[in-house]
Amino acid sequence: MIATLPAGLASNPQPAEVLRWAYGNFSRVAIVASFQAESSVIIDIASRIRSDLSVLTLDTGRLPQETHDMIDRVRDRYGIPVDVVVPDADDIKDLVHAHGTNPFYRSPDLRRLCCEVRKSRPLAKALVGYDAWLTGVRRQQATTRSETQVVAEDLEHPGLVKVAPLAMWTKDHVWGYIRERDVPYHSLYDRGYTSIGCAPCTRATQPGEDERAGRWWWEQDEVKECGLHWTEHGLVRAASLPPGGGGSGWGGA
């Protein structure tokens, strides 16, 4: 049985109050940051609530330099450590040996496998020992996220609770907060990016395109998710490594 939001908060989930509730109900809470705009907002709000933040980020080995620059800007701005989580070296070695350096361009299954090795397995290991984790997923971002709950049991990581304090916010809410509070944000947004992931798998978007249209843009009719926040009956587990591969309002802020 997971902790649930009080009725009043559930009906009007202001991010700052959701964060206060999360920190008040769970002993160990991790902010899992991609250092996109939503991460910037969550870190800024959380820093106004408490100083001892645990922030994790996934360094897939293929991030743009601008993401590394953003990590340093956040460290400097808030004076908080950022735990940079990397993939297992043997998993990467097996992936590259079996499928090459850029397998994601060759098929959706190989793209999902790359995400599994570089993102999903490292995150699963990093979250061991935590009770809950905070993510910047919003309902408006994509149809696959349209039913995102503010608080939910994390089926991908049994025993953990997943909290999405910005689930009900629009893009305008996020950027309004950033501008009003002068919050640092990823520099690729100024170059037309609307969603930022690994460098080879992300491009800028055109006016009118979906927020996540720049992710894996060469794929047709495929789900624009890597497996961290959405799986279709274990879809990302379908591909496998060869034998020997490793496994797994501002709300008053």
Partners of residue 56 on adjacent β-strands: 32, 83
Q: Which segment of 50-54, 121-125, 219-223, 236-240 scores lowest on mean pLDDT? A: 236-240
Residue 126 scores a pLDDT above 50: yes
- Mean of the per-residue pLDDT values for the chain? 86
Q: Indicate the DSSP class of residue 29.
A: E
Cα–Cα distances in angstroms (integers) from residue 38 to residues 4, 9, 68, 165, in the given order: 23, 20, 17, 10
Residue 235 scores a pLDDT above 60: no
State pLDDT tens for residues 146-195.
778 889 888 888 889 999 999 989 999 999 999 999 999 999 999 999 99
Element (H, E) at 237: none
What residues are annotated to the active site?
226
Kindly state the average pLDDT of the residues 228-234: 46
**188, two tokens:** 């690729």
Residue 241 scores a pLDDT above 50: no
pLDDT of residue 128: 96
Residue 30 scores a pLDDT above 90: yes
- 194-205 as b/e, with b when 16 or more CB fall inside 10 Å? bbbbbeebbbeb
223 confidence band (pLDDT: 50, 70, 90): low
CATH architecture of 11-237: 3-Layer(aba) Sandwich (3.40)
Partners of residue 32 on adjacent β-strands: 56
Hey, where are the domains in the chain?
11-237
State pLDDT tens for residues 36-67.
999 999 999 999 999 999 999 999 999 999 99
Partners of residue 83 on adjacent β-strands: 56
State pLDDT tens for residues 66-112.
999 999 999 999 999 999 999 999 999 999 999 999 999 999 999 99
Kindly state the average pLDDT of the residues 117-130: 95
Task: Provide the 3-class DSSP secondary structure of residue 3.
Answer: coil
pLDDT of residue 201: 95
- The terminus-to-terminus CA distance of the chain in angstroms comes to 29
More confident position, 19 or 240: 19
Does residue 156 contact residue 166 with C-beta atoms inside 8 Å? no
pLDDT of residue 1: 52
pLDDT of residue 142: 64
**45, two tokens:** 């709000």
Task: Determine the Cα–Cα distance for residues 3 and 5; give it in Å rounded to an integer.
Answer: 7
More confident position, 118 or 222: 118
List, in order, residues 6 or more apart from 43 with CB less than 8 Å away: 31, 33, 53, 55, 74, 78, 80
Task: Determine the Cα–Cα distance for residues 45 and 53; give it in Å rounded to an integer.
Answer: 11
List, in order, residues 6 or more apart from 200 with CB less than 8 Å away: 62, 102, 104, 105
Taking residue 124's Cβ as centre, other Cβ atoms within 10 Å add up to: 15
